[in-house]
Amino acid sequence: MRDRRYWSGFGERLGGAPPAFQPTVPGGIWLHAVSVGEVISAVELLRQLREQFPSQRLYVSVTTVAGRQIAELRLKATCDGIFYAPVDLCWVVRRVLRRIRPQLVVVMETEIWPNLYREAKRFGCGLVVINGRISDKAFPRYLRLRGFFRAVLRWPDAILAQNRIAMERYLALGAPAARVRNTGNLKYDFRAAGLEPPAMVRLLAAKLQPSAVWIAASTMPPAAAGDPDEDDVVIEAFQSVAAANERLLLILVPRRPERFADAAEKMERAGVRFLRRSELTEESSLRLPGVLLVDSMGELSSLFPLADVVFMGGTFPRRGGHNILEPAFFAKPVIIGPHMENFPDIAEEFRAQGGVYAADSPAQLAEAANHLLADLALRTRIGEKARQLTEGRRGATARAVAAVRESYSEAVPRKVHPFAAIALLGPLSLLWRAGTAWDRRRKLAQSGSLRAPVISVGGIAAGGTGKTPFTQHITKWMREEGFNPAILTRGYKRGSPERSTVLAAGAVCPVARTGDEAQILLRAGIASLGIGADRLATGRELERKLRPGVIVLDDGFQHWRVRRDADIVMLDALDPFGGGALAPLGRLREPLSSLGRASAFVVARASIPTPWRGLEKRLKEYQPDAPVFYSRVAPVEWVAVDGTERSPAGKPPSSPAAVFCGLGNPAAFHGTLHDLRIEPVFSWAFGDHHHYRVRELQRLAHQAQAAGARILLTTEKDLMNLPADAAAHVKPLRIYWLRMRLEMEREEEFFEWLREICSRSEDIGYLHR
């Protein structure tokens, strides 16, 4: 309440989105790092997560203002969004979960928020606690509430404790033993390579040529009555040490920004010469001995290479200490006080192995610094031992990433609908269910067969799951294998009154007669096409005219009038069960029990490590005999709508770009752009199969130019719905569409399964050319 800086992000703390957030797609990872220490520990973790999950959104939440500042400095290049963590109220946590739609929530260190934990699991997210610890101060209080914590700690899939003591404390609070592991401390995986001091600090050090550099890192105020103020302790010790080291430079780094001004005032009163880091210029100088007061955030780690000796703050007052591993990685001798309760295993090992210099009281700080500065061999021995100890404990981050992958694979996110939506739309979903059942019975009674084997490619949910590119992919294989494929499709939103339209492969036909998706299949030139709402009649017309060997029923899972030999059901990896409810509350066309009709499942947009064990387990509940395969679309190139220019997918012709599309699942296109590191300045989402008018394109171009865009980006499906002279109506902008190709895991196994179905025919001469 007293610090006005906390009010600036109050909307985010109530679940609001930061203004800079782009439209989110499901399937991301939300990592919560409360403050500075957790953020620094997360640097290497996020780097490895980005390598393992290159296509997924990574979000970081923080609690403190200082944590937000450090996150902006150290994590912004790695993650996709930084925001203040929500207060732990159910409705607030739900706002965030609905907004960023994560598949996994990762909580760093000591944060135990019961509503966050519970709501994450209600939404079907994975939940992992990483680098977990419970402090000496908190543990006795938590132990008195063991019954409460036992209920809360059953939610995480894994609790990765940073040491044996932390693991035992989680177990004592009632966490399930099978889920708690001692995986080591992430701080051991700090990456020292490549860090160097800021240019102005290097320039000052080169100009001053000090005989020694002493860094007092993360100094803290008293925590309780009788505690010393470490800034006072350091200033007094500096004055004593400087008497024997006339060219000594002290770099004083208070832990908290609100203490910068206090530290400066104390040095002025003590008559100590100093410079403020924020005021350094190329002309800055300082008469030694003197002090550089680092009144900035995020630079401490980069200063350690300059040091001859380091004092780690938070160890004289009862604060529990701070991380000594960063200076240890640079082989710097570290002085610590008696309070290292936050890092008991590290402190115990470093003390026992001679990797740290212990000062039992503030009065001993000057003596310790003098001793180390006077004895190069001692400094070298302690610093090298510290480096060896840290190097020998690496690997916690890799173990954490493995646990993240496991939890991500097991998670099956689901949509938790607000009560108002359930009350309003739930009865309509019941009507939908009854209407679908009646429609299925009626059409099954009128169903019939075609002579050729029929393979349906469909889905259980409304919206795009990549059925068209998948249909194109398998018919291309059929043609190459000597089958004579045809595609039977409805031709949704086509303008032709024809009952049935039959076209040979590669025929030229206007979009108005075929529809957009059918036009993509026709232009591919790999299969003949039958278009009509009555697909049984159209299929028979197709067989009469072109005699296909195998027929692919496009979007046919709910087309019950045509009997089929196999049903391939496509699921969107990021929302496999269509919001978990029938339309209009969710996106399901049929109840999930209908998955029992599936012959095989293809999980589309599976752009992360597979298999997804959680999803496969759910699918086995409905159809244990159907194999599960995975597919994804890979961008190939950008093509100008007038065909005059092409460029690789990873290098759009120009930037910045604006985006428009009319898809059943526009988030998928945004996800592809994210993978390509394209952040549009503006985006428009039209209805599925939208036909663009000239006035709309002109308005798009005007708004795109106002937003600073130089090009417009869209999809191949939208290309089919653009006017023939679209390029002329958006000048000086140009429109480019993205060509994609489909990739499958275990493709050979899938095609062997498909070959068996394609070969089911009594008339082999009719089946093959």
Catalytic sites, residue numbers: 38
Pairing of strands 102-108, 126-132: parallel
- Alpha carbon 146 to its chain's center: 33
Q: How far apart are CA 742 and CA 367, in angstroms?
A: 69
Q: Which one-letter DSSP state was computed for residue 193?
A: T
Handedness of CA 328, 334, 340, 342 (dihedral sign): negative
- 683: three-class secondary structure by DSSP: strand
Residue 488: name the closest of 423, 556, 421 by CA: 556
Q: What angle do CA 471, 472, 478 make, to 5 degrees?
A: 90
Question: For residues 308 and 271, is the Cβ–Cβ distance under 8 A?
Answer: no
For 20, other C-beta atoms within 10 Å of its C-beta total: 9
- Listed in order, strand segments (DSSP E) in 255-375 are 274-276, 290-293, 309-312, 334-336, 357-358
Cβ contacts of residue 601 below 8 Å, gap of 6+?
Answer: 568, 569, 570, 571, 595, 619, 623, 626, 627, 628, 629
Residue at token pair 């610590």: 336
Q: How far apart are CA 754 and CA 679, in angstroms?
A: 39
Amino acid identity, residue 207? K
Pairing of strands 734-745, 628-640: antiparallel
What are the helix (H) ranges across 549-651? 613-622
Burial 94-109 (b: 16+ CB within 10 A, else e): bbbbeebbbbbbbbbb
Which pair of tokens denotes residue 90?
A: 């159910």
For 145, other C-beta atoms within 10 Å of its C-beta total: 11
Question: For residues 448 and 536, is the Cβ–Cβ distance under 8 A?
Answer: yes
Q: How many residues does the chain have?
A: 769
Pairing of strands 28-32, 102-108: parallel
Q: How far apart are CA 575 and CA 605, in angstroms?
A: 10
Pairing of strands 646-648, 628-640: antiparallel
Question: For residues 230 and 322, is the Cβ–Cβ distance under 8 A?
Answer: no
Handedness of CA 98, 104, 108, 110 (dihedral sign): positive
The full 3-state SS of 656-675, as one line of letters, equals: CEEEEECCCCHHHHHHHHHH
Phi-psi region of 590 (alpha: psi -120 to 50; beta: other; left: phi over 0): beta
Which pair of tokens denotes residue 212?
A: 């020694």
Residue 604: name the closest of 700, 396, 461, 405 by CA: 461
Upstream peptide bond of 611 is cis (omega within 30 degrees of 0):
yes
Rg (C-alpha) for the chain, rounded Å, is 32
CA end-to-end span of the chain, whole Å?
79
Q: How far apart are CA 76 and CA 635, in angstroms?
A: 26
Q: How far apart are CA 725 and CA 85, in angstroms?
A: 49
